[in-house]
Amino acid sequence: MTDRHPKFMRGMFVNGDYLPSASGKTLPVVNPKNGEVFAEVAEGDTVDINVAVDSAERAFEKWGGLSGTERGNLMQRAADILQRRLPEIVSLEVDQIGRPRREMTAQLARLPEWYSYFGSVARTYEDRVPPFGKDHLNYTRRIPLGVVGHLTPWNHPLLILTKKVAPSMAAVNTMVVKPSEYAPITPMILGEIFREASVPDGVYNVVPGYGPTAGLALSSHPRIRKVDLTGGTPTGKAVAAMAGKNLIRFTAELGGKAALVVFPDIPVDRCVAATLFASFVATGQTCVQGSRLLVHRSIHDAVVEALVHRTRAIRLGDPQDLRTQMGPLVSAKQRDMVERYVRIGIEEGATVAAGGERPQGAEFARGYYHLPTVFTNVKSTMRIAQEEIFGPVVCVMPFDSEDEAIALANSTPFGLASSVWTKDVARAHRVAHQLKCGIVWINDHHRIGPASPWGGFKMSGLGHENGIIAYEEYTELQSVIVNLSDAPFDWYADDGREKRYS
């Protein structure tokens, strides 16, 4: 650790405090704008995961002993503290992942909403009374699972974590978090916020580490009752197999290949503005990135011309500078991935209409920058149109009919999200209903709210984040059936009366 940032030397956050890992190892946190290590955190492994699970199990009884109102009040207090600490957290998120400050400020400003919303759910959730017959009362109860595990990515470190933590806390679970090794700091600061809000120690625990060690230990732990993962589809399949072996709940938000389906009644400038946002926000490092622009052939050429012009005008630079519109990719590995797919696209016969390389200039030399890239002359069967690149690359493809647009949109193995752009209300809903994905935006893209369910079809995942459904997926359902009748019942009595079960 350098002397420039001594406060960023942190242990793992377990039982309400920072602790060193059992091995004493640390892992570096690198600023992607210049490749410099700006922090170190404890590197946890199996031993540390066990310690964290023990802590969460001890806290479970205390957390469950609070009423829904008490838990909701603590979550609202955490929301207020989080709001106060946002400027500090924004700066750290920018340093961890290189996303421009203007984007991180806008994104993280939303986070307190999740704790407010799910705190309200904790206060107000009503159990149900299913119809059962005149002589019986049937009611259902939602029972917490116990200790749950969260495996979170680097691209939205605190947002995606919050989408998991808020409903699991509201549903009375305790948790162990394994954040990405690229972005472990802000997940641990969330622990400080919960501690200040008087959430009992051990309800929330964070063990930084690597996937093959800490991640594997958490995913396969016999005392974890649910694993909630956001990551790549191959990782999701592996973790799902472990969850299946232990017969526990599993939720996964995995890869995507979102399409923008743009019909000719949308003005060219609006189409281009939508594509720039959908394709290049977060430097394209998001599962709902608009990686495919499907545009009606009658406006295709005009859209391409304007899109190329505006793409070339995007300002790359220091992500802490509010004037910067696009920052670096998170790592050299991620930039290598983007560059590999650019080569693949060229080899497949697609045309690089904009970008396709690293930016020139001394200010970019040490960071992991790549120019926003537009491919044209793309066929749907090409790898660049089928596989998730997770970088600032968009493939433009024309279509002639509504049916062709739907077929193109549905032609990948993924099904997380897509958007439909048209002024025709009937067409908008008709197309949306035929898209095989879990989220469809109409005349918008990449919008989210704590009450709005979020989850994918096909290879994009299982289960949901956000909304009442997320709360319920962090519980077991118990059905209680009460006989209200005092009438005697004897199935084997030889009394000549007809017997019935209900």
**Residues with catalytic annotation?**
164, 253, 287, 465
Coil, strand or helix: which one is 338? helix
The answer to whether the CB of 422 falls within 8 A of the CB of 263 is yes
Q: Among candidates 389, 394, 174, which has minimal Cα distance to 271? A: 394
d(CA 59, CA 56): 5
DSSP 26-82: EEEEEETTTTEEEEEEE---HHHHHHHHHHHHHHHHHHHTS-HHHHHHHHHHHHHHH
Q: Are strands 147-151 and 226-230 parallel, antiparallel or unpaired?
A: parallel
Nearest to 42 by CA among 14, 65, 70: 14
Which residues, listed in sequence order, are joined to residue 259 by a DSSP beta bridge?
292
The dihedral of CA 237, 242, 244, 250: what is its sign?
negative
- Token pair, residue 6, equals 């001594």
**Degrees, nearest 5: CA angle 215-216-221:** 105
Decide: residue 485, CB within 10 A, 0-12 exposed, 13-18 middle, 19+ buried.
exposed
Q: Which element (helix H / strand E) includes 441?
A: strand 439-442
E-only strand ranges, 152-257: 174-178, 204-206, 226-230, 249-253
Give backbone dihedrals phi and psi of 241, rounded to 5 degrees, phi first.
-65, -40
CA dist 184 to 11, 97, 187, 209, 215, Å?
10, 10, 6, 9, 13
| For the chain, the helix, strand and coil percentages under 3-state DSSP, each to the nearest 5 | 40, 20, 40
Alpha-carbon gap, residue 356 to 392, rounded angstroms: 9
Decide: helix, strand or coil at residue 323.
coil
Could you tell me where the beta strands, DSSP code E, fall in 323-408?
A: 351-354, 373-376, 393-399
